[in-house]
Amino acid sequence: MDHSRVPVLEALQEFRRRGDVVFGPPGHKQGRGVDPRVADVVGIDVFRSDVLSLNGLDDRRQSQGVLSQAQDLMADAVGADQAFFSTCGSSLSVKTAMLAVAGPGEKLLLSRNAHKSVISAVVVNGVEPIWVHPKFDAERHLAHPPEPDDVRRRLQEHPDAKGMLLITPTDWGTCADIAGVARVCHEFDVPLIVDEAWGAHLPFHPGLPAWGMDAEADLVVTSVHKMGGAIEQSSVFHLQYDRVSPEALKQREDLLGTTSASSLVYATLDGWRRQMVEQGHDLLDTALRRAERIRRAAADLPGLAPMGQEVVDAGLAAAFDPLKIVIDVRGLGISGMQAAEWLRAERHVDVGGSDTCRISASVTHADDDETEKVLVEALHALVDAADSLERRPPVHLPAPSDLELEQAMLPREAFFAPVEHVPAERAAGRIAAELISPYPPGVPVVAPGEVITEEVVDYLRSGVEHGVLIPDAADPSVRTLRVVART
């Protein structure tokens, strides 16, 4: 296929050339009605490019096939049979993918280290989750993806399960054995869905971990805004084989997705695909060398411990994305949240993630010598300033086994059940009716239907006292918890 073509961008360019006068949405009329004070901040071209697909980029019959051509090019670029664009982010795309494989009341295997969007999908879709617990790394207090044997064991226990959802790479860059998990799923003739939100760049360089389509996954969801070059909410479904019906996937997407898709998302997805096909290898090659320099510089600083190949050598993960710079800061006597706050306040450096133990910074093809220098100098400054940072109350990190909570009710049933709020000190033994997700990365410690334990309450309360953000809890202070009412 001709990857110099960008159907959406070309259609947008033609729309501008024609000078169409629009009497439908959006109401700002390609920027004519925008408050100049808004345009001064975000730029008038944002509004000029905000055009409906129907009777805008294409006619009302979509006879030009603008979007379908762009999606075909994307599929060809990454080795998928089909690709579908989504403008609602991978949070909604994952919900759609799950519903395309398992319907209400049906079973679906899920990695328990899933983002809250996956747990939310269980509530919305009404599927019965069969949790596959991740490989816990007690030293780093980190959850790595589950292994093929874990998946096989759960499929043997639940032969009526409709498929498996695997999350890889994790927020911290560690990766699953996708090919191994795919082989297990296919032995049982069920599809493997991969939530590869952090992996849109993986198809474009051999020095990166395996890409889901190459590793024989059936359906892969990527967030191109995370590690790629498209704007926020840019997501793509990639599909191959015949275990997931493209018709069912499209219908589920129509059910959940917006009817007012953003041309800005479509256009930037289209342009990013062209850039990666034409220049991706060289751009990512430069990024990989840059990331390795940053990792070496961090390793030379006292108190910092960047994560790397050792997690693979120890058998904790199948691979790791070297473009994720994950640095344990506990050697400085501070938490990752403190480090992130200090870097933002004092050095104007915003890291991508932080938790009690570490910070992470994503290096992409967009970084250059200046951003590399800024990050390395900021890490030096952090090390120098660490002794002056106020010591906060410690977070009581639970043992890995304490995070494997009993599932006493289906998440959907618990979420919609009659509820009450109980003081945290009386919550142990009760069934949660809410998501409780320290953020970032937003992986729920407690999901609806799980039995709350004293160890988890202690972890959450001590985390809040330290400064952990828990935005989805009914009471973010976790002084009270939302639980299923006793009848």
Beta carbons within 8 Å of 274's beta carbon, 6+ residues apart = 3, 4, 5, 6, 73
Contacts of 18 (CB under 8 A, 6+ apart): none
Task: Provide the pLDDT for residue 441.
Answer: 73
How many C-beta neighbours within 10 Å does residue 403 have? 22
pLDDT digits (tens, 9 = 90+) for 25-51: 899 999 999 999 999 999 999 999 999
How far apart CA 435 and CA 124 sit, in angstroms, is: 13
Q: What is the pLDDT of residue 23?
A: 87
The per-residue DSSP string of 183-236 comes to HHHHHTT--EEEE-TT-TTGGG-TTSPPPTTTTT-SEEEEEHHHHSSSPTT-EE
Residue 337 in tokens = 């949240």
Rounded to whole angstroms, the Cα distance separating 470 from 444 reads 10
Per-residue model confidence as pLDDT tens digits over 432-445: 999 999 876 778 89
pTM of the model: 0.94
CB atoms within 10 A of CB 35: 9
Domain positions in the chain are 7-274, 285-388, 400-484
Nearest to 97 by CA among 264, 298, 238, 276: 238
pLDDT for 75 equals 98
What top-level class would CATH report for the domain 285-388? alpha beta
Three-state SS string across 4-34, please? CCCHHHHHHHHHHHHCCCCCCCCCCCCCCCC
CATH code of 400-484, in short, is 3.90.100.10
Fold agreement between 7-274 and 400-484: no
- What's the mean per-residue pLDDT of the chain? 94
CATH number of 7-274: 3.40.640.10
- Residues ≥6 apart with Cβ < 8 Å to 171: 115, 198, 353, 360, 440, 441, 443
- pLDDT band, very low/low/confident/very high, at 64 (cuts 50, 70, 90): confident
pLDDT at residue 399, as a whole number: 87
- Per-residue pLDDT band at 360 (split at 50, 70, 90): very high
User: What's residue 36's pLDDT?
Assistant: 95
Question: What is the rounded CA–CA span in Å between residue 394 and residue 462?
Answer: 7
Give the DSSP letter string of 75-120.
HHHHT-SEEEEESSHHHHHHHHHHHHH--TT-EEEEETT--HHHHH
Please state which of the ranges 53-62, 199-208, 280-289, 393-402 shows the lowest mean pLDDT: 53-62
Residues linked to residue 35 through DSSP beta bridges, in sequence order: none
